[in-house]
Amino acid sequence: MSHPLPRPLTVLPRGPLRGTIALPGDKSISHRALMFSGLAVGESRITGLLEGEDVLATAAAMCAMGADIRRGDDGVWQVAGVGVGGLLQPETALDMGNSGTSTRLLMGLIASHPITATFTGDASLSKRPMGRVIEPLGRMGADFTASPGGRLPLTMRGLCPAVPIEYTLPVASAQVKSAVLLAGLNTPGITRVIEPVPTRDHSERMLAGFGAEVSVEQTDDGRIISIRGEAELAPQEITVPGDPSSAAFWMVAASVVPGSDVTITNVGMNATRAGLVTALRMMGADIDSLDEREVGGEPVADLRVRHAPLSAIEVPPELAPSMIDEYPVLFVAASLAEGRTVARGAEELRVKESDRIAAMATALGACGVSVEEFEDGLAITGTGGDPIRGGARVASKLDHRIAMSMAVAGLASDRGVTVDDVSPVATSYPAFFDTLDAICS
C-alpha cells in the first residue's frame, strides 16, 4: 500500500463550531469485528464499520486468508468466516499500510495456525517495533524473521498446535494483550494474560460475545484474562459505536474555540477509552453525557460540548492507558489553558505512528507554545484562553493524529497552522475535514 502524495493544508481560525457530529465507527472495534467474524463459522453482519484505510487493510488481509468479506449497498458488511483454525496460506505479502493494530493482532491470529505470512507496511509502520508482540508469540511457538530492530518487513511461521502460556504485560498495551489472546483461540488449553495496568478491553468483550470462553479476574497483581483454546465462534450481528478517539478532536476544538456548542452522537464510552473526557473535565471543560445506553455490548452516549475556559492540571499518569491515542489533542487543549499542564507517564507515545511526544513538542513550539519535553510526556504553559500564535508549517510525520491535532490548533490560532501532509487522516477519519467545514461558521 503506497503512501499517497503529500497533501499540505492550512487551517485558519474560524467562527465557533456548532451543530451535530456523527462519528466514524470505532477503529479498534472495527478491526476486531472483521477478524472475529472471519474466524466464526457462518455469516456475520457489521453495521457502522469504519471504512478508513487501516480497517480496510485488515479486511484485505482476512480475505487473503480465506474469509469472504463484502460491503452491501446499505453500508452493512457481511463476513463469512473460515472457523478458528481455518485460516489459509496467503498467496502474497499482507500489506498493512499504516496500521499497527492490524499487524499486531493478525500476528496473534497467525501464530497458532500452520501458515507462513509476510507483513509489509508504509514508511511509518516500518519504523514501529514489533518485538513486544514477537516475544510472547515466540514463546507460544511462532517463528519470526524480522527486519533489524524487530520491524517490518517481517515473515512469521505459525505453529499448530501452539503452546499455551501465562504472560504478564511488561507495558500497558491492548495490542499485545489481544495478540496473545488471539493466538490462544486456536491453542489447546488455557492461555492467560496478566495486565498490571488495565487497557482497552474490546477484545475480551467481543470474544465473549462470539462465544469464546473468556474470563476476567481482578487480583492484587492486576487483571488476569484467560481464554480457553480450540474455540468455536458463532456469527454475530455487530453494531460499531462511534470512535471516542475521533470524538476527541471535536471535544477539544469546541472547548477552546469561543462560542462553540456541538453535540457528538453515539460516542463509545468504554471506561478503558474515556480518559480524555475525565482529563478535560478536570480542566474545566463543559461536557455533558446525554442518553447513556449500551450498543453491541459497549457503553455509548451523546456528548454535548460547549466552550469553557480551561485550567492547567497534572494529568494523572494512571489515565494514560485509557487515553493514549488522545494525548496529541490533549496537548493542544493544554496550549489554550490557564497555567502549566504536566502530562507524564505516556512513554508509549514514542512508538506510535510517529514519536508523538517529539512531534507535538516541535509542532506546538513552532506555533509559539511554551513546551518542555520529557521522555514520557510534555509540560505545556497555556495562553489562558487567548489564541496561540500559529503561522507555522508543521510536520505530521505520516501520523493521522498529529495532523488532526494540529488542525484543531489552527482553529485556535492567530495566524493559522499549515500541516505539511494531511493525507494520513484517511487512515482513521476520511470525512474529518468535510465535517470541519460543515460545523464551522
pLDDT tens digit string along 391-426? 999 999 999 999 999 999 999 999 999 999 999 999
Q: Do 38 and 79 meet the contact criterion of CB atoms below 8 Å apart?
A: yes
Q: Do 183 and 197 meet the contact criterion of CB atoms below 8 Å apart?
A: no
Average pLDDT of the residues of the chain: 96
pLDDT tens digit string along 327-378? 999 999 999 999 999 999 999 999 888 999 999 999 999 999 999 999 999 9
Q: Was 28 annotated as part of a binding site? A: yes
Q: Was 85 annotated as part of a binding site? A: no
At residue 327, the 3 state secondary structure works out as: helix
Average pLDDT over residues 87-112: 97
What is d(CA 375, CA 391) in angstroms, rounded to the nearest whole number?
Answer: 27
Which residues, 6 or more positions from 140, have their beta carbon under 8 angstroms from its beta carbon? 111, 112, 159, 162, 163, 164, 165, 180, 183, 187, 191
Q: Was 175 annotated as part of a binding site? A: yes
Burial of 278 (0-12, 13-18, 19+ CB in 10 A): middle
Which residues, 6 or more positions from 110, have their beta carbon under 8 angstroms from its beta carbon? 65, 87, 117, 142, 156, 158
Per-residue model confidence (pLDDT) at position 55 = 97
What is d(CA 338, CA 334) in angstroms, rounded to the nearest whole number?
Answer: 8
Average pLDDT over residues 63-89: 98
Relative to beta strand 237-239, strand 222-228 is unpaired
Q: Is the pLDDT of residue 207 over 50?
A: yes
Average pLDDT over residues 32-61: 97
Q: What cell was used for 170? A: 511488561
Residue whose C-alpha cell reads 505512528 in the numeric block? 353
Per-residue model confidence (pLDDT) at position 383 = 98
Q: Is the pLDDT of residue 386 over 90?
A: yes
Q: Was 139 annotated as part of a binding site? A: no
Domains of the chain: 9-25+241-439 (3.65.10.10), 27-233 (3.65.10.10)
Task: Spell out the alpha helix ranges (H) of 210-260.
Answer: 244-256
What is d(CA 441, CA 428) in angstroms, rounded to the nearest whole number?
Answer: 25
CB atoms within 10 A of CB 10: 13
pLDDT tens digit string along 130-152? 999 999 999 999 999 999 999 99
Which residues, 6 or more positions from 177, have their beta carbon under 8 angstroms from its beta carbon? 169, 193, 195, 199, 203, 225
Q: Was 397 annotated as part of a binding site? A: no
Relative to beta strand 261-268, strand 298-306 is antiparallel
At residue 424, the 3 state secondary structure works out as: helix
pLDDT band at residue 295, thresholds of 50, 70 and 90? confident
Q: Is the pLDDT of residue 297 over 90?
A: no
At residue 234, the 3 state secondary structure works out as: coil
**Can you say whether residue 182 is alpha, beta or left, with left for phi > 0 and alpha for psi between -120 and 50 degrees?**
alpha
Average pLDDT over residues 209-220: 96
Residue whose C-alpha cell reads 515473515 in the numeric block? 155
Annotation marks residue 325 as catalytic: yes
Residue of 95, 243, 325, 421 marked active site: 325
Which residues, 6 or more positions from 408, have their beta carbon under 8 angstroms from its beta carbon? 249, 252, 253, 256, 329, 332
- Spatial strand order of the sheet with 370-374 comes to 314-315, 340-343, 377-381, 370-374
Task: Spell out the alpha helix ranges (H) of 257-317.
Answer: 275-282
**Can you say whether residue 390 is alpha, beta or left, with left for phi > 0 and alpha for psi between -120 and 50 degrees?**
left
Size (the chain), residues? 441
**Local structure of residue 14 (DSSP, 8 states):** -
Q: Was 128 annotated as part of a binding site? A: yes
Per-residue model confidence (pLDDT) at position 1 = 46
**Can you say whether residue 206 is alpha, beta or left, with left for phi > 0 and alpha for psi between -120 and 50 degrees?**
alpha
- At 256, the amino acid letter reads V
Task: Spell out the alpha helix ranges (H) of 353-428.
Answer: 356-366, 400-411
Q: Was 73 annotated as part of a binding site? A: no
CB atoms within 10 A of CB 256: 28
